[in-house]
Amino acid sequence: MSDAVQRADFDRYMVPVFAPLDMIPVRGEASRLWDQQGRDYIDFGAGVAVTALGHAHPAQVKALTEQAGKLWHVSNYYTNEPALRLAKKLCDATFAERVFFCNSGAEANEAALKLARKRAVNKYGPEKIDIIAFNGSFHGRTFFTVSVGGQAKYSSGMGPNPAGIIHVDLHDEAAVRRAVGRNTCAIIVEPIVGESGVVPVDPAFLRLLRELATEHDAALIFDEVQSGNGRTGALYAYMNTGVVPDIMTTAKGIGGGFPIGAMLTTAAIADEHFTPGVHGSTFGGNPLACAVAEAVFDVIRSPEVLEGVRRKAAHAARRLRAMGQQYGLFSEVRESGLWLGCELAGSMQGKASAFMTASAHNGVLHIVAGPNVIRIATSLVISDEELDEGLDRLEKTCAQLSAR
């Protein structure tokens, strides 16, 4: 039997919950990827905002290989040095005083939601379990997190959803005031809504959520799985809003491609309500993942890297807006650091997937956020040359599609 594999094997062997492009990437370096045929691509998706340092970054490779020769896994009967170092750094850099490690964004949110409920039920009794969440939001794919997420297509048709979840529209002040009450245990929000189009939430609305959460002693949870870890040019997006959550979750970019998630909170919330045995994870906080994430974190928290994100983002937004004007395919370009959403217009309205496929043929791999938004999430350390080369290739797509 041959070891050679091709795209057709996906349809033959894999559960078809995804529909990947025809080409198969086999190697990456910085912001460039190569496929099986040796064609190169500029990576404008970064594995959905994951590969924050691009591909094969020396600091990441060093951390991984050094730790791989030392210790991979010990279980939670013991702690380990990389986890302790990373937790300390996360607490030093944020509002948080306690960290729980897991393996993904969904798991981080699962932990946050369980903690918020546990706390409220401990303090006030079994009625206080309501979770306020927002239409269009995305919080992961476990059953609890799809139920809390605001996209029914991900949570329907699988039997009864967990009770006590209330969805309202973002920025609908009256609706959120009606929804929050004495039985609210948590309000969960993405400070910048990722999967539904890279849409920043108005800081005034976040302040309202903060006030309502405080008034009803509910936990304000910020889902920074995608917006965190330098993506916006701030270390975490909350830092630019003037609003501090009680619980923050993150994943994606923090591991730079190695699976890891984290839930961050205060000592008061964690120590009293997440006591030994209440929650856990076999792999969460394993030394290999934490060693890689520590190396990634050391790079992305540097002021030069964060400043670079803001500078390159402004440049990309300028060029994308100019393309929008010239080709008439973008009605709006939203920039939240190296995380951009181009709202499609004209003949490409509603055809984000077709746009993405055309771009791949032109050698640039951006992603989408819903049917009408082109999403660009580059490495945070993409070079100016790679950025412009990717934008040139994207412009080629615009020229082709507007001429059609």
Ligand X SMILES: *Cc1c(COP(=O)(O)O)cnc(C)c1O
In the complex, which residues of this chain contact ligand X (CB under 6 A)? 104-106, 109, 138-140, 190, 194-195, 223, 225-226, 251-252
When the beta carbons of 57 and 252 are compared against ligand X, the nearer one is 252
> Which residues are annotated binding-site positions?
105-106, 138, 141, 223-226, 281-282
Give the integer Cα–Cα distance in Å for 37 and 6.
11
Give the residues across from 219 on adjacent strands: 186
| Cβ-closest position to ligand X | 105
Give the integer Cα–Cα distance in Å for 90 and 104.
17
CB of 218 to ligand X, least distance (A): 20
CB of 232 to ligand X, least distance (A): 13
Residue matched to tokens 């939601």: 113
When the beta carbons of 55 and 139 are compared against ligand X, the nearer one is 139
> Which residues are annotated binding-site positions for pyridoxal 5'-phosphate?
105-106, 138, 223-226, 282
When the beta carbons of 28 and 150 are compared against ligand X, the nearer one is 150
> Which residues are annotated binding-site positions for N(2)-acetyl-L-ornithine?
141, 281
CB of 108 to ligand X, least distance (A): 8
Q: Would you say 264 and 250 are in contact if contact means Cβ atoms under 8 Å apart?
A: yes
Q: Would you say 103 and 284 are in contact if contact means Cβ atoms under 8 Å apart?
A: yes
CB of 197 to ligand X, least distance (A): 12
CB of 347 to ligand X, least distance (A): 29
When the beta carbons of 284 and 324 are compared against ligand X, the nearer one is 284
Instruction: Calculate the alpha carbon distances from 201 to 139, 206, 238 in Å.
Output: 16, 7, 11
When the beta carbons of 140 and 150 are compared against ligand X, the nearer one is 140
DSSP per residue, 319-363:
HHHHHHHHHS-EEEEEESSSEEEEEE-GGGTT-HHHHHHHHHHTT
| Edge-to-edge strands, sheet with 219-223 | 98-102, 261-265, 247-250, 219-223, 184-189, 130-134, 165-168
When the beta carbons of 128 and 139 are compared against ligand X, the nearer one is 139
CB of 8 to ligand X, least distance (A): 26
Amino acid making up residue 164: G
Strand ranges, E, within 76-191: 98-102, 130-134, 165-168, 184-189
